[in-house]
Amino acid sequence: MRLGYKRLSLSPYFFWGLVWLVAVIWSLRVAGVFQGDLVNEGGWSLVVAFVVAVVSPDLSPEFLLLTFDAMLKTLAYAVCGTFFCVVIGSVGGVLSSQVWWQSLGKGYNSAWLVVRAILAIPRAIHELIWGLFFVNIFGLDPLVAVLAIAIPFGAITAKVFSEILDETPREALFALLNSGVPPGSAFFYTLIPQAFPNLLSYSFYRFECSIRSATVLGIIGAGGLGYQIYLSLQSLRYQQVWTLIFALLLLSGCTDFLSGWLRQQLQLPSRLDLNVLKLKQHSHNHPITSSPNLFLLGAFVLLIFSFWYVKADFAKLWEPRSAERLAGIIQDVFPPQWIDLNQLFFLSTQTLAMSILAMTSAGLAGIFLSFLAARRDTEMGRNLFIPLLTRFLLLFARAVPEPIWALIFLFVLFPGILPGAIALAIHNFGILGRLMAEVIENLDQRPLHSLTALGASNSQVFIYGVLPATIPRFLAYILYRWEVCIRATVIVALVGAGGLGRLLTEQLSNFDYQGLLTTLIIFIGLTFVVDVISTSVRRLLR
């Protein structure tokens, strides 16, 4: 008994589980759940009116035309942002990959760490903050939305691309290098062709994320579906809100479907092959053979249309006025003001508590609904109606931006981190539920069939076969989304959810750049701490 207790107490799983439980209780206390007085009883009438309006959306020709224009604008923002994101990610991915610097010689062994450290800064700042920053330089120009997507997503893409390149077999590369081929030529003739399917597949995934980000950026005045939803919700025009939400569902659903269909047609790795556990190589088993010319033509036409439709004034990038504004901001930023550290510490605890509550709720709900969303024929008497209905629920949850969810819950909850945590939880549970359902659908069926053949019941197969094979990957996804969620706290703070994000938006609006720099340093430090914890626990789960 003593030995068993010692093993249990020293188990890393037990330790991190205990830490998680304590963190959840602490987060509930920070959110004020134990203090009561959280619900605004007068807001229930607004919620009822909002729900009732779902059966009578605004279908007038004028508003449908406005909705169609907003949908196209959101799509165009996502396409343009993804284009520059992939360009930045390609260059940054090569320069931040360990294998690139190894191919140059022994004197560059640590150079990749320097590049990754530089790219970590724009990656840690949410696209909404980038958008608010660029508004102060370029004004309300479509260029703001394009750059706000391109820069942080480009840094994220660079990190993933570098990991893909580092995990690509490099025997052919070093064979050419030993034969005297220049490093650049050897790299681009060996590693890039092998890694290309993974790189292209991740670009599709980043485009799906850009659709959601383009919607969020609309809230700060960039236009598109997010802007129109925000305006209609603020003016209590719920029929219009539902029309716009249905349009957003259509756009998000078509994007997800088209992305998956293209992966299948081009025989690219799926989202699961690009998960946070391991980047698998499929290029030697799945060559691209299915009408690549038609795909490239369609992508080129969509790209040209998107740049034409958004009408971003790229000339502002090199205008003297923009340079003067940027120089003025840089001059006003330094030195940072290290005052009121108690407030920064308090807001940091709010931000951390909000993210913990959000990901705990999203993870538990995602795990539960993923088994209902997984399409596995008619297992245990289920038909296809339940998976389809659950997948629509997951699509609805992730398609609606977090600030919109926060605004809805602010009808009945007082301002604070609780409505923000609920909004983040709903959005992330839609993403996690989809990914977890794909994990279940791609399970190796042979161990499960073996258990059934040995006489195990359905519940026993589920407990001893399905859960052990899925839970580690589920937890890895939750931890990865936690890294994303800590950055997304900025979004819900825009509508009054509290935390560091609220202070950041106020400082940007008041042109308090010295205080902004101080808050950004604290916020980036907090995200790095979360990244380190998440990475450590995910390594334990491998």
pLDDT tens figures, 280-337: 444 444 444 445 567 778 888 999 999 999 888 888 888 888 888 888 888 877 777 7
CB 309 within 8 A of CB 124: no
- Rank 200-209, 436-445, 503-512 by mean pLDDT and report only the highest: 200-209
The class (CATH top level) of 337-541 is: mainly alpha
Task: Work out the percent of the chain whose per-residue pLDDT is above 70.
Answer: 90
C-alpha span between 523 and 499 (Å, rounded): 10
- Rank 33-42, 319-328, 381-390 by mean pLDDT and report only the highest: 319-328
Q: Supply the pLDDT for residue 283.
A: 43
Tell me which amino acid residue 1 is: M
Q: Which residue, 473, 481, 490, 478, is CA-closest to 524?
A: 490
What 3 state SS string does 79-92 have? HHHHHHHHHHHHHH
Tell me which amino acid residue 170 is: R
Max Cα distance, the chain (Å) = 77
Q: Supply the pLDDT for residue 467.
A: 81
Q: Supply the pLDDT for residue 6.
A: 41
With a cut of 90, say whether residue 64 has pLDDT above it: yes
Q: Supply the pLDDT for residue 67.
A: 94
Q: Which residues on neighbouring strands pair with residue 91, listed in sequence order? A: none
Q: Supply the pLDDT for residue 181.
A: 82
With a cut of 60, say whether residue 398 has pLDDT above it: yes
Q: Supply the pLDDT for residue 72.
A: 93
Q: Supply the pLDDT for residue 153.
A: 93
For the chain, residues classed under CATH 1.10.3720.10 are 71-277+291-323, 337-541
Can you tell me the mean pLDDT for 126-133? 84
Return all residues near 359 (Cβ < 8 A) that are at least 6 apart: 424, 425, 428, 478, 481, 482, 485
**Calculated CA dihedral for residues 151, 220, 512, 122, nearest 10 degrees:** -10
The mean of the pLDDT values for the chain is 82
Angle between helical axes of 142-166 and 127-138 (0-180°, round to 10): 140
C-alpha span between 267 and 261 (Å, rounded): 9
Q: Supply the pLDDT for residue 276.
A: 45
- How many other C-beta atoms lie within 10 A of the C-beta of residue 107? 8
Q: Supply the pLDDT for residue 279.
A: 47
Q: Supply the pLDDT for residue 307.
A: 92
With a cut of 60, say whether residue 440 has pLDDT above it: yes
**Angle, alpha carbons 195-197-203 (nearest 5°):** 105
- Helix or strand holding residue 156 (H, E): helix 142-166
Can you tell me the mean pLDDT for 30-55? 82
Q: pLDDT for 81-105, tens place per residue? A: 999 999 999 999 999 888 888 887 7
| Confidence class for position 107, pLDDT limits 50, 70, 90 | low
Can you tell me the mean pLDDT for 31-57? 83
Q: Supply the pLDDT for residue 289.
A: 46
| Confidence class for position 1, pLDDT limits 50, 70, 90 | very low
Q: Supply the pLDDT for residue 292.
A: 59
What are the φ/ψ torsions at residue 39 (nearest 5 degrees)?
-100, 135
Q: Supply the pLDDT for residue 277.
A: 39
With a cut of 50, say whether residue 395 has pLDDT above it: yes
Which of 509 and 411 is assigned the larger pLDDT?
A: 411
- Rank 213-227, 424-438, 469-483 by mean pLDDT and report only the highest: 424-438
| Confidence class for position 381, pLDDT limits 50, 70, 90 | very low
Q: Supply the pLDDT for residue 84.
A: 94
Q: pLDDT for 225-258, tens place per residue? A: 888 988 888 888 989 999 999 999 999 888 888 8
**In this structure, which long-range contacts are made by residues 137-142, counting pairs with CB atoms below 8 Å and at least 24 apart in sequence?**
137/322, 137/325, 137/326, 137/329, 138/313, 138/316, 138/322, 140/221, 140/222, 141/312, 141/313, 141/316, 142/77, 142/222, 142/223, 142/310, 142/311, 142/312, 142/313
C-alpha span between 16 and 475 (Å, rounded): 12
Residue 339: which region, alpha, beta or left (left: phi > 0; alpha: psi -120 to 50)? beta
CB 273 within 8 A of CB 439: no
- How many other C-beta atoms lie within 10 A of the C-beta of residue 246? 16
Helices and strands, number each (H, E), in the chain:
23, 0
- Rank 133-147, 261-275, 323-337 by mean pLDDT and report only the highest: 133-147
CA dist 191 → 92, 197, 202, 272 (Å): 15, 11, 16, 22
Which of 82 and 400 is assigned the larger pLDDT?
A: 82
The class (CATH top level) of 71-277+291-323 is: mainly alpha
Return all residues near 490 (Cβ < 8 A) that are at least 6 apart: 126, 128, 129, 500, 501, 504, 505, 523
Q: pLDDT for 519-536, tens place per residue? A: 888 888 888 888 888 877
Q: Which residues on neighbouring strands pair with residue 413, listed in sequence order? A: 39
- Rank 29-38, 114-123, 328-337, 496-505 by mean pLDDT and report only the highest: 114-123
Q: Supply the pLDDT for residue 101.
A: 85
CB 446 within 8 A of CB 59: no
C-alpha span between 231 and 251 (Å, rounded): 19
With a cut of 50, say whether residue 455 has pLDDT above it: yes
Q: Supply the pLDDT for residue 460.
A: 79
Q: Supply the pLDDT for residue 273.
A: 54
